[in-house]
Structure 1
Amino acid sequence: MMVAFFGVVIGVNLLMMRLAIQTLPGTEVDSAYAASLAYQKEITTAQAQSARKWKVDAHVKRSGQGGATLQVEARDHDGKPMSGLKFQGRFERPTDRRADLPVALAEVGIGIYRGSAETIAPGQWDLVLEGMASGQRMFLSRNRVLLN
């Protein structure tokens, strides 16, 4: 009976450990050391973005089938629409990286970029927008959004 008791306890512990490892949502960064080395570059990039004084507005509109449309309007420091940029959007779950959902944005008008996510669950998401020009990231923003 003692061997059976400890066998059950060890078996349950192994099962719980395996389930915990499989459902681990992950970490914010894979390597804290590599992230710390890139930190100064991120500060410089953020200062350059701030100096450009771009105004980038994003609007998320839910569709009836559980999807969402993301529209981004980009204007320069004078308020003129900016064309020719490549915007990428990403809905990130704050609690689980496996649920992250990229959204491809295409320019549909001068300074207006639009893309859709066919299926996105309701709840809190981090909307990450990246604007690229000439292969270089010119804009980055991260905002918490609530989708119903």
Structure 2
Amino acid sequence: MATKPLTGTKVFLMLVAFFGVVIGVNVTMMKLAIATLPGTDVDSPYAAGLTYDREISAAQDQVARNWKVSAHIERRADGHAVLQLDARDAAGQPLTGLKFEGRLERPTDKRADLAVELSEAGSGIYRGDAASVAPGQWDLVIEGDAKGDRVFLSRNRVILN
């Protein structure tokens, strides 16, 4: 049986094929990694930096109001989560007429975030329901608006079983 000699052309083609496979796999993995990147908190860090002073001022105003807003969230066996807020002012009187919004945010994957519609269910009591809430760690974000201005913001890590 005669063997064919190893020529420069064959070596060149083997090198091109090898590096072609390596580059092809790298490009594929890079595209998949970029397409599934859930880890960004903000789309534009520059724009977030511009609003930083406004956020500090809003936080100082919130502290000065001395509101007491307590939240209770419970995940039922069917996957629904029930969120209830009790909002009181500094004197302990119920806060009424506000528009509260809730969000359940996954700490590692923003694509799984869920909005919780809250409506006033009584004097200072706000309730909402979210469907298909998976168990695990979530960030519970509560925002309160009065006349179009955000007057309350809270972010807490919760574990739902």
TM-score relative to the length of structure 2: 0.88
1:97 aligns with 2:97: no
1:76 aligns with 2:85: no
Indicate the larger mover: 31-40 or 134-143: 31-40
**Separation in 1 of the partners of 2:76 and 2:127?**
14
* Post-superposition CA distance 1:67-122 (Å, at most 9, x none): 21111110011111111110000011111111111111011111111111111111
- Residue 74 of structure 2 is matched in structure 1 by 61
C-alpha deviation, 1:141, in angstroms = 0.5
1:50 aligns with 2:63: yes
1:111 aligns with 2:124: yes
Structure 1 unaligned runs (5+)?
A: none
Q: How does 1:118-137 map to 2 (within 5 A)?
A: 118-137=131-150
Structure 2 unaligned runs (5+)?
A: 1-13
Higher Cα radius of gyration: 2
Aligned with 1:82: secondary structure? coil
1:140 aligns with 2:153: yes
**Separation in 1 of the partners of 2:59 and 2:16?**
61
C-alpha deviation, 1:4, in angstroms = 2.2
Q: Which amino acid is 2:77 matched to?
A: G
Q: Which amino acid is 1:51 matched to?
A: A
Aligned with 1:16: secondary structure? helix
Q: State how many pairs are aligned.
A: 148
- Residue 18 of structure 2 is matched in structure 1 by 5
* Post-superposition CA distance 1:30-76 (Å, at most 9, x none): 22222122111111111111111100000001111012111111001
1:34 aligns with 2:47: yes
**Separation in 2 of the partners of 1:37 and 1:12?**
40
Indicate the larger mover: 6-15 or 102-111: 6-15
**Which consecutive aligned stretches of 4+ in structure 1 deviate over 3 angstroms post-superposition?**
none
Identical columns (%): 67
Indicate the larger mover: 53-62 or 34-43: 34-43
Alignment equivalent of 1:20, drawn from 28, 33, 37:
33
Indicate the larger mover: 2-11 or 71-80: 2-11
